[in-house]
Chains A and B, each alone.
Chain A
Amino acid sequence: MSGVRALVLEQVPALRRYARALTGDRERADDLVQDTLARALSRLHLWRPAASIRPWLFTIMHNLFLNERRRASRMVPLGADPAEPAADRADSRALLDDLDRALGQLPEEQRAAVLLVGVEEMSYEDAANILGIPIGTLMSRLSRGREQLRRLLDGDGRPRIRRVK
């Protein structure tokens, strides 16, 4: 594997993590990663080695995600599964399910901001560039997304996730 490909490979775990949280679905997430890798390889000549490869790959993934969403929006959404009692499930699984459900209720633009900054620990500048928005817009999406997440995890009379443990 050439040097650049090895650099791309190093980013695959983070791309999978982000894709999984963004889509809420393991298989779709890996499809998205695979598409991202294929597109990145076909465009390696466009990548400037002086720039970090990580934001570049996340930008490709974000654009592919938007394309897929536009296409999928033609289908009728089925809505979230009714919540099962968290106590019936393994703790880590329950945490993941609760968070998937809560993230799934955020507008995608807010979900992406919350995940890029909070989980991927991207700088605000990188996150804004990935999403193609000014920093001010990123901060406002981040703030609204986090606030809605807090209400979702607080609300519905359900205990907040960390107390389920």
Chain B
Amino acid sequence: MTGAPISDSDVQAFVDGRLAPARAAEIEAWLAERPEEAARVAALRQDRDALRAAYGPIAAEPLPARLVAALERPPAPAWRRVAAAVLVFAAGAAAGLAGGYYGWPNEPERRDVVRAAIGAHRVFVPEVRHPVEVAANEEAHLVQWLSKRLGHKLKAPDLTASGFRLVGGRLLAENGRPAALFMYENAAGQRITIHCVAEPRAGETAFLYRKVDGVSAFYWIDEKLAYAVIGTVEREKLHEVARAVYAALEKK
């Protein structure tokens, strides 16, 4: 028996089963005389067990492929990181263009862009009567309007070679910033959207792929715009469309 006063830390260590047996016995004796405190300690243990039971199975799940891929990919060579840093510095942008090497942007701001783009896709694609604000028959006006609002020259790429024709577009408000959405449709009625938003940090990334609840997105940054091509078509088809969009935008 140490006889030391019983502190709150002792009680926590007792809950966690981390006390030396002698000290644990003292706490037990102490609790035996205090039924209310004993009930509280029992509840703390039950809560801890409930947390383990609820979150434990997550550790037994198969790992998402993107996490395994993040570990398999070789780290970016030092010269490439240096080049990226120089590019960012030269552009006068905030530090840290590290995203893109692992298939999904590592910077939260960029991820928010993809989330917002997928969200807009989900909201507007099921619309039957008002999927767009300005329809394809006013394409020139649409592109001019959205370019003006985003402060960058935009383009509604011609995707007929991939089987998609322009439905129209709309202006979106995302975190207080204007964004543009172009919607396309194929003969089967499948719709894809192209999402554009100004990217304050200039840069360039490879295509990044993300799938959330059945909606897929290819995302990239080119100069000062971030693009996402979004749809529920299969990945290969969407990739083809994304490449077509990229190619169309290259031809200024």
Contacts and interface: CB of A to CB of B under 8 A. Distances in A.
Interface of A: 1, 5, 8-9, 12-14, 16-17, 20-21, 27, 30-31, 33-35, 37-39, 41-42, 67-68, 71-72, 75, 92, 95-96, 99, 114-115, 117-119, 124, 136, 139-140, 142-143, 146-147, 149-150, 153-154, 160-162
A31 B103 CA distance: 11
B12 A17 contact: no
Interface stretch (B51-59, B128-136, B186-194, B215-223): B51-59
Given A8-B71, A41-B75, 5 more contacts: A1-B72, A17-B58, A30-B66, A31-B108, A146-B44
A149 B47 contact: yes
Contacts of A27: 212
B104 A34 contact: yes
B45 to A, nearest CB: 10
Interface in B81-106: 81, 98, 101-102, 104, 106
Interface of B: 8-9, 11-13, 15-16, 18, 40, 43-44, 46-48, 50-61, 63-64, 66-68, 70-72, 75, 81, 98, 101-102, 104, 106, 108-109, 111, 175, 212
Contact of B54 (A75, A92, A139): A92
Given A143-B8, A153-B47, A34 B106 contact: yes
B121 to A, nearest CB: 16
Contacts of A147: 44
Contact of A117 (B16, B71, B72, B109): B16
B102 A95 contact: no
21 contacts: A9-B71, A12-B67, A13-B63, A17-B58, A20-B55, A21-B51, A33-B67, A37-B70, A41-B71, A75-B175, A99-B55, A114-B51, A118-B48, A119-B48, A119-B51, A119-B56, A139-B9, A146-B44, A147-B44, A150-B40, A150-B43
